[in-house]
Amino acid sequence: MRLTPDRVAAERDWVADRADTVVPIINDVRDDLGTIFETDVTHASTDQYREEVDAVFADGDLAVNVAAMVAILRDLDVEDDYPGFVVDEILGRELAATISGTQPLRTLGEATFHYADVHVQGPAEENAGVDDLEAALAAGFQERIPGWPWTERESPFAVD
């Protein structure tokens, strides 16, 4: 695979254009986890998703790495799928973490990827890596988008 600025821009466009698929996954995950953790989490909007896509891809060093993982997952298909299960899980988890940002959001993105991944199943005609890609995008970007009450407050652990 060869990555150029044009290829990174094309992958960015693909990620942004996937909003109609990814944003509902984000909101399903937020609803489920909000119920599990007994908290209200606001839904993400398509505009918020696209703003965060723009922010990720505006950082060139981050963008090239995200674009590479997106491109690999888009193209990844293993005959009978199961033998490729590990590689798409590794790439999906790392993509979610990379998009999420620094700790603790990075680890939460990884964990959320696994939750989202078991709830996302793509159409049979798509490559096997695409549903992992969608789960990773949902997990990573949902960490970046406001709406979790604990991220909206000052940490009680900050030392003055």
Distance of CA 45 to the CA centre of its chain: 15
pLDDT digits (tens, 9 = 90+) for 100-154: 999 999 999 999 999 998 887 766 666 677 889 999 999 999 999 998 877 777 8
Half-sphere exposure of 119 (CA within 13 A, CB side): 20
Residue 151 lies in a domain: no
Residue 150 lies in a domain: no
Residue 149 lies in a domain: no
Token pair recorded at residue 100: 């999420």
**Residue span of the structural domain in which 79 resides:** 5-144
pTM of the entire predicted model? 0.92
pLDDT digits (tens, 9 = 90+) for 76-90: 877 766 666 778 889
Residue 88 sits at φ, ψ, to 5 deg, of -70, -30
> How far is 81 from 138, CA to CA, in rounded Å?
22
pLDDT digits (tens, 9 = 90+) for 44-87: 999 999 999 999 999 999 999 999 999 999 888 777 666 667 78
Residue 154 lies in a domain: no
Residue 99 lies in a domain: yes
> How far is 45 from 41, CA to CA, in rounded Å?
13
Domains in the chain, number: 1
